[in-house]
A and B are shown apart, each in its own frame.
Chain A
Amino acid sequence: MTALLEAQDISKTFGNGVRAVSSVSLHVGRGETLGIVGESGWGKSTTAKMLLRLLQPDEGVVLFDGADVHRMRGSALRDLRRRMQIVPQNPQTSLNPRLTLQSSLEFNMRAHGIRAVERGRRIPDLLDRVGLDPSYARRYPHQLSGGQLQRAAIARALATGPDVVVCDEAVSALDKSVQAQVLNLLATLQRDLGIAYVFISHDLAVVEHIADRVAVMYLGRVVEQAPADALWKGARHPYTITLLSSTPGLGRERIVLDGELPSPADPPSGCGFRTRCPIAVAACADEWPLLTVRGADHLAACVHHRPQLAPAVTAVPA
């Protein structure tokens, strides 16, 4: 299957010397959901911005339908903007506080020359689709709850009929119960409209709920990438294994990591995870292991082919 959106070895170093993203390769097929997980500050949002052409990568290319996103001009770029959308993280700031929902939705449609009559026709549909009453069109963001705000942000993303929606921690700020509702909404929209998601979260439990494939990021790199099932059943990177063990509800014994979080500005030599890795060996300090094939569509970057981690002595029952 050809990928709809694909990143090939993209890297980004910021002006202050922080190497936020290093040689990340990802791909999302039509109607598919790619989850990107990892702790905060590991380059997930930077990756998202490069996918969306909000940030220029230093190296590597991003392809949308086979065309280089960062070389697009004119109508190709317009078309990209229409077909690729974002649902931002913070419900309180993801919608303009001074605009009604209607104005926010219209802004996106107007950017693509959709006429007033058509805009007026689509807005109730869009709100209805995300489970908001059409009367909400006249409301301001401060009159909505967090979950309603994210629904509205989803409606805005849908306004121009996109093929890919990047959800950057889109449910992270919500309560668990509201989270589940929004995730169900996203799943329904995917089934009905065939949208592909790039779903970024620090919460594995959330990603598990929605992703077909998962990329695990650590210190600006993808350390493991696999179909969701394969990852839950047999993670091949110690970081993924500890992440899984710390996620409630997956029925694993918890592994507690020692050691300081490395700084992206001053990463350790070799594998970035070795300072916290319980099974690090001398070779880990030499270089960051390459992603190697561990199964069907399953890649991991670890010197151990099949790492085994012992649960912590003071294991907390999951």
Chain B
Amino acid sequence: MTDLLVASPAAAPPPAADAMATARTGRRVPWTVWIFGGLAALLVLLAIFGPAIAGNVVDGSLRQRLLAPGAHGHLLGTDGQGRDVLRRLIAGARPSMISALLPVLVAGLIGAAIGMGAGLAGRRVHSTIMRTLDVFYAFPAVLLAIAIAAALGSGTTNTVISLSIVLIPPIARIAETETMRVRDYDFMESARASGAGRGSIAIRQVLPNIGPALIVYCTTLVGLALVFAGGLSFLGLGVAPPKPEWGQMINDQRQYMLNDPQVALAPAIVIFAASMVFNVLGDGLRDLLDVRRESR
């Protein structure tokens, strides 16, 4: 404690610069990033290989309905139709992860482009874009997603489209805020004086500065999108049964919840856990990429 008080500010390197240095040299990656990054990678692998390793998840035997976890080699038991819950969860990873990751990716690209464009544009274009985005903020995101998905009809593609639309405004706003932060820096002035085109300035000068914040934000958004996607398919707007999907599995099994809560709780817990993985990973990346404490 006394050491901290005695240490002169001149002797210690500025904390921001120090953190940035470690971010670049790759040292001192927070443990949360290692662990939750690993878990996120696992989820992605599950989405890729899940359906292949899960085997038959559609047909069940009525004699094996609602088996308790652990019974007859069913690690998580069986559901109301006598199908292995664990297998269905593994197979359901693909549609669930696709309808969470893809919208964030699509919305991330479009939102970043819109936000940077608005941030670098003149005052009139800027306020036109931002006020238009504000219209989307007038609706609760979940309701908007439901409305769009309902209008488009059920299916994974439409879930992806509706979630992408819903996620664009918040991402664009982050991109715009970050762009506004750097646009008046001296290096932007010399970039303009260099003769480089607007697109080139945006991609090579602005994007490296706003990228880390966007990556962090989009990572946490994957968690949110998982919950949204689960909600949509719970309402029957996602994958059509009997193919499994996490949100749809909850809906499918909720009638058995009073006596056998595990059949509906298992997918709910998986959605929650997967969502948390991306949330915590986002927080870890925030520390690693030093988003908030950007040195001026």
The chain B residue sitting closest to A15, CB to CB, is B123
What is the 8 Å Cβ interface bit string for chain A, positions 75-103, against chain B (1 contact, 0 not)? 00110111011111110111111110001
B193 and A52 contact, CB distance less than 8 A: yes
* CB–CB B193/A85 < 8 A: yes
A selection of 12 A-B contacts at a CB cut-off of 8 Å is A54-B192, A84-B193, A88-B186, A88-B190, A93-B186, A94-B187, A98-B209, A107-B191, A110-B196, A110-B200, A111-B200, A160-B194
Residue with the highest number of chain B CB atoms closer than 10 Å, among A88, A99, A104, A142: A142
A156 within 8 A of B: yes
Cα A93 to Cα B294 with chains together (Å): 12
For A140, list chain B residues within 8 Å (CB): 20, 24
Q: Check B190 against A86 for contact (C-beta < 8 Å).
A: yes
A160 contacts which chain B residues (CB < 8 A)?
A: 194-195
Q: Does B157 contact A (CB under 8 A)?
A: no
> Which residues does chain B contribute within 8 Å of A86, judged by CB atoms?
189-190, 193
Partner of B190, one of A78, A92, A97, A157: A157
CB-defined contacts of B152 to chain A, threshold 8 Å: none
B204 contact from A95, A97, A107, A157, Cβ within 8 A: A107
Q: Which residue of B lies closest to A140 (CB)?
A: B24
Distance A160 CA – B195 CA, assembled complex (angstroms): 10
Interface positions of A from 139 to 196, Cβ below 8 Å from B:
140, 142-143, 153, 156-157, 160
Grouping DSSP codes into helix (H, G, I), strand (E, B) and loop, the B interface class, with mixed when no group exceeds half, is: helix
Interface size of A as a range:
35 or more
Interface residues, chain B, CB within 8 Å of chain A? 16-17, 20-21, 24, 185-187, 189-197, 200, 204-205, 208-209, 211, 294-296
Chain B residue nearest to A166 (CB atoms) is B193
Given contacts A97-B295, A156-B190, contact A142 B195 (CB under 8 A): no
Q: How far is the CA of A110 from the CA of B196 in the complex (A)?
A: 8
B21, A142: Cβ atoms under 8 Å? yes
Minimum-distance CB pairs A-B, first 9 = A81-B195, A88-B186, A111-B196, A98-B208, A142-B17, A94-B186, A93-B185, A108-B194, A93-B186
Q: A89-B186, A96-B208, A143-B21 are in contact. List 13 more A-B contacts (CB 8 A).
A: A85-B194, A93-B187, A94-B187, A94-B190, A97-B20, A98-B211, A99-B204, A107-B194, A108-B190, A111-B196, A112-B195, A142-B295, A157-B190
Contacts of B205 in A (CB 8 A): 96, 99, 107
The reply to whether A96 and B187 contact each other, CB–CB distance below 8 Å, is: yes
Contacts of A95 in B (CB 8 A): 187
Q: How far is the CB of A145 from chain B (nearest CB, A)?
A: 12
Report the bound CA distance from A78 to B193 in whole Å.
10
**CB <8 Å contact, A82 and B195:** yes
Nearest-neighbor residue (CB-CB) of A84 within chain B: B193
CB nearest neighbor in A for B208: A98
Residues in A with CB closer than 8 Å to B21 are: 142-143
Contacts of A108 in B (CB 8 A): 190, 194-196
Given contacts A93-B296, A110-B196, A156-B190, contact A142 B20 (CB under 8 A): yes
* Cβ–Cβ contact A90 & B186, under 8 A: yes
Cα of A143 to Cα of B294 in the assembled complex, Å? 15
> How many angstroms from the CA of A97 to the CA of B294 in the assembled complex?
9
Whether A92 pairs with B296 at a CB distance below 8 angstroms is yes
- Closest Cβ neighbor of B185 among chain A residues: A93
Residues of A within 8 A of B189 (CB): 49, 54, 86, 88
Q: How far is the CA of A33 from the CA of B209 in the complex (A)?
A: 35
A52, B205: Cα distance in complex, Å: 20
Q: In the bound complex, how far is the Cα of B294 from the Cα of A52, in angstroms?
A: 29
What residues of chain A lie closer than 8 Å to B211, measured between beta carbons? 98
Residues on the A chain within 8 Å of B191, using CB: 96, 107
B193 vs chain A, min Cβ distance (A): 5
Contact yes or no, A99 B194, CB < 8 A: no
A153-B209 contact, Cβ under 8 Å, with A92-B296, A111-B196: no
Q: A108–B296 Cα gap in the complex (Å)? A: 22
B208: A residues at CB distance < 8 A: 96, 98-99
In angstroms, how far is the closest chain A Cβ from the Cβ of B19? 10
Residues of A within 8 A of B193 (CB): 52, 54, 81, 84-86
Q: For the complex, give the distance between the alpha carbons of A84 and B194 in Å.
A: 8
Write out the residue numbers on chain B whose beta carbons fall within 8 Å of the beta carbon of A87: 190
Instruction: Kindly list chain B residues whose C-beta atoms are within 8 Å of the C-beta of A54.
Output: 189, 192-193
- The distance in angstroms between the C-alpha atoms of A80 and B195, with both chains bound, is 8
